[in-house]
Structure 1
Amino acid sequence: MATIKSREKCVAEPAERLDLPDVGEWKRVSPRYVVVETVGTVVFGLVLAAAAAAVWFLFDVQWALYLIGAIVLITGTTVAFEPRRVRAIGYQLRRDDLLFRRGILFTRFVSVPYGRMQLVDITRGPIARWLGLADLKFVTAAASSGVLIPGLTGADAESLRDRLVELAESRRAGL
C-alpha cells in the first residue's frame, strides 16, 4: 500500500500538467497571417462550390443546390473564426525546449526538446511571400512530432531558425 501512495504523489493530476500558468509570455504569429488563412479557406470553398455547381448543371440534381448552400455557410463560418484561430497560435523558447500551442476548442501543446531537433526548415507560399511571411518547420526523429509555426515574418523566421540550430547543436553535443 505504501508504494501506491508514493506512486500517487509522483504522478501529477492531469489538470496540473495541462495548466501552464507560469510558462511566461507567448510569442504570437503575425496578424497578417489571417489573410493567408482566409484566402486559403475561400479558395477551397470556391473549388468545392464549383464542383457542386458542375454536378447541378451536368446532372440536374436538386440536392447539389443544398450542398452549395452548405459549402457557403461552412466557408463563411470558418472565415469568421480565422482571426481568433490565428491569435491562438503561439510559441516560447524555454530553457530546454520549444513549446508550441495552437487551437481554440481543441488546444494542442507540443514541446520539442532542442537536442532532438534534426531539421529546421523555412517555407514560403505565394501569398505568405507576398505578405512577407514564412513558416518554420521542425523535424525530430519521431515522425509525429513535427511542428510547424506558421505566419512568422521573414526576419523572425530566419533569426529563430538560426537560434534553434545553435541550441540544437549545443544540446546534442552534451549528449
Structure 2
Amino acid sequence: MPGLFAPPTAEWKRVSLRLRDAHRYAFVLPGAVAGLAVTVVAHILLERWWLTVLLAVVVAGGSVWGWVWAARHQAAWGYAENAEDLYVTSGIMWRRLVSVPYGRMQYVDVQAGPLARRFGIARITLHTASPDTAATIPGLPADEAQRLRDRLTELGEAHGAGL
C-alpha cells in the first residue's frame, strides 16, 4: 500500500512549517485561553475542586491534541510537478492523492486571509470542470505560491486549458 501514495517524481515538495504555526496560533492559543477562563469561572461559581481539575485536564488535553494535530496536518500536505500534471497529496487518517492534468485546468485561484498574510503563506486552488479533480495546496510561502501560479497558468495555456 505504500506505493499507492508514492510521489510520481523524486519526492514530494512539502508545504511551509508556517502553516503549522498559523494553525497553532488560530486554534490552540484561543482554545487554551477560553478553556482556562471557563475553568476559573466554573471554580468560582460551583466551588467544586474535582470539577475544576477535570476541566483543567480537558483543556490541557485539548491543547496538546491541537498542538500535535497542527504539526501532523502540515506534514501531510505535499505536491509534485510532473510534465503533464500536478499531484497533490493530503490527509492523515484518510490519505488522498489528486492528479490534475494541466490541460484540464480552467483557472488557478490564490488566496491569503489576514492570518495567512501575517505568516507569509497562501493557498492555491486549481479548478477544473470536474469538482472531483480540483486540488488545493495550503501553506505555500508567498513567493512559491506566485511561482506556482505563474507556472500552472503557462502550462495550462500550453496544454489547451481555458485559463
TM-score range, shorter chain: 0.7 to 0.9
Unaligned runs of 5+ in 1: 1-14
SS in 2 for 1:45: helix
* Alignment-derived partner of residue 149 in structure 1: 137
Matches within 5 A, 1:75-94: 75-94=63-82
* Alignment-derived partner of residue 95 in structure 2: 107
* Alignment-derived partner of residue 18 in structure 2: 32
Aligned-partner residue type, residue 110 of structure 1? V
SS in 1 for 2:100: strand
Matches within 5 A, 1:25-174: 25-42=11-28, 45=31, 49=35, 69-70=57-58, 72-172=60-160
CA distance in 1, matches of 2:127, 2:30: 27
Cα offset, 1:131, TM superposition:
2.1
How large is the Cα RMSD of the aligned pairs?
Answer: 3.3
Task: Point out the structure with max Rg over C-alpha.
Answer: 1
Aligned-partner residue type, residue 33 of structure 1? L
Query: What count of residue pairs does the alignment treat as equivalent?
Result: 160
CA distance in 1, matches of 2:95, 2:104: 23
Unaligned runs of 5+ in 2: none
Check conservation: 1:134, 1:157, Cα contact below 8 A. yes
Cα offset, 1:151, TM superposition:
1.1
Q: Could you say which structure has the greater relative contact order, defined with CA pairs below 8 angstroms and 6 or more residues apart?
A: 2
- % of aligned pairs identical? 37
Q: TM-score, with normalisation over the residues of structure 1?
A: 0.72
Deviations for 1:94-150, whole angstroms, at most 9, x for unmatched residues? Answer: 111100111233221111111111121111121221222111111111223332211
